[in-house]
């Protein structure tokens, strides 16, 4: 009887210890998963600054003629989270482009200042997807075959993007493609040039880093 009681007690003690260990492990895993998911997330009231870079080089052949296009751009954004899903901010940018087609060479340098609004589709996570709507004021110095000209205009665009936090403050940010409308006019009084751009391929992509304060 004593042996049965001792065995029963030992089994019960082992079962309790095993259950307690399992509970502690599960609790740790739960807290780790929770902390991992929340680590670095954007929240209402956060302020961030980001710098993104893009480079695109392509050659298109059409009926024996080549069209070469080389583009380099840099963008900086400062944003404030109005809520966990909505962000507003300002942005600044610079773009340099060189085009060659049919013996004609066009070099242009664009400056940009604008405002933007974002909507985060996956708030509260290290990895987030968002859509960004922006309105920009543009200035450009354009040189066509040695003849220089200045242009001014504006652009309205919708861009998809993503953010992935590396730690509490630093995150990788990427924007690709766009649906945009651009209107430019030369200072000499030439006609306004309007352009609608639709493209979501990886030829139009910007990578960079964001820092959350």
Give tens-digit pLDDT for 86-125.
999 999 999 888 887 777 778 888 899 999 999 999 888 8
> Which pair of tokens denotes residue 110?
């664009």
Measured distance CA(200)–CA(205) in Å, rounded: 9
pLDDT band with cut points at 50, 70 and 90 for residue 173: very high
Architecture in CATH for domain 43-212: Beta Barrel (2.40)
Banded model confidence at residue 41, pLDDT cuts 50, 70, 90: confident
Residue 204: name the closest of 141, 159, 171 by CA: 159
Q: 174 with 209: CB under 8 angstroms?
A: no
How does 152-183 read in b/e, with b if 16+ C-beta sit within 10 Å? ebebebebbbbbebeeeeebebebbbbebebe
pLDDT at residue 15, rounded to an integer:
42
Q: What integer pLDDT is reported at residue 203 of this predicted model?
A: 65
Tokens found for residue 213: 């304060």
Report which of 80, 90, 89 is spatially closest to residue 43, judged by C-alpha positions: 80
Q: How many residues does the chain have?
A: 213
Contact (CB, 8 A) for 89 and 75: no
Element (H, E) at 33: helix 2-38
What mean pLDDT, rounded, does the chain reach?
79
Identify whether the C-beta of residue 53 lies closer than 8 Å to the C-beta of residue 207.
Answer: yes
94: number of Cβ within 10 Å: 13
Which residue in 42, 37, 72, 36 sits closest to 54, CA to CA?
Answer: 72
Instruction: List all residues 6 or more positions away from 173 whose beta carbon is below 8 Å from its beta carbon.
Output: 50, 52, 161, 162, 163, 207, 208, 209, 210
**Please, which pLDDT band fits residue 33 given cuts at 50, 70 and 90?**
very low
The answer, as to whether pTM is greater than 0.85, is no
pLDDT value at residue 64? 67
Phi, psi dihedral angles at 148 (to 5 degrees): -95, 150
Measured over the CA atoms of residue 100, residue 102, residue 104 and residue 106, the dihedral's sign is: negative
Give residue limits of the domains in the chain.
Answer: 1-38, 43-212
Per-residue pLDDT reduced to its tens digit, 125-164: 888 999 999 999 999 888 887 788 888 899 999 999 999 9
């Amino acid at each position: 009887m004593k042996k049965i009681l001792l065995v029963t007690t030992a089994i019960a003690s082992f079962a309790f210890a095993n259950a307690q260990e399992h509970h502690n492990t599960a609790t740790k895993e739960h807290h780790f998963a929770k902390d991992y998911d929340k680590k670095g997330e954007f929240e209402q009231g956060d302020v961030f600054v980001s710098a993104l870079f893009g480079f695109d080089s392509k050659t298109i052949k059409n009926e024996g003629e080549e069209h070469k296009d080389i583009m380099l751009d840099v963008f900086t954004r400062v944003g404030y989270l109005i809520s966990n899903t909505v962000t507003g901010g300002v942005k600044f940018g610079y773009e340099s482009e060189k085009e060659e087609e049919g013996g004609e060479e066009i070099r242009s340098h664009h400056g940009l200042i604008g405002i933007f609004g974002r909507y985060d589709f996956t708030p509260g996570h290290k990895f987030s997807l968002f859509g960004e709507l922006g309105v920009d004021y543009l200035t450009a110095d354009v040189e066509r075959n040695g003849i220089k000209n200045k242009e001014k205009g504006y652009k309205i665009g919708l861009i998809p993007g993503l953010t992935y936090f590396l730690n509490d403050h630093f995150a990788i940010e990427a924007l690709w493609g766009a649906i945009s409308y651009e209107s430019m006019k030369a200072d000499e009084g030439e006609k306004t040039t309007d352009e609608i751009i639709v493209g979501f391929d990886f030829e139009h992509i910007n990578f960079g880093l964001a820092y959350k304060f």
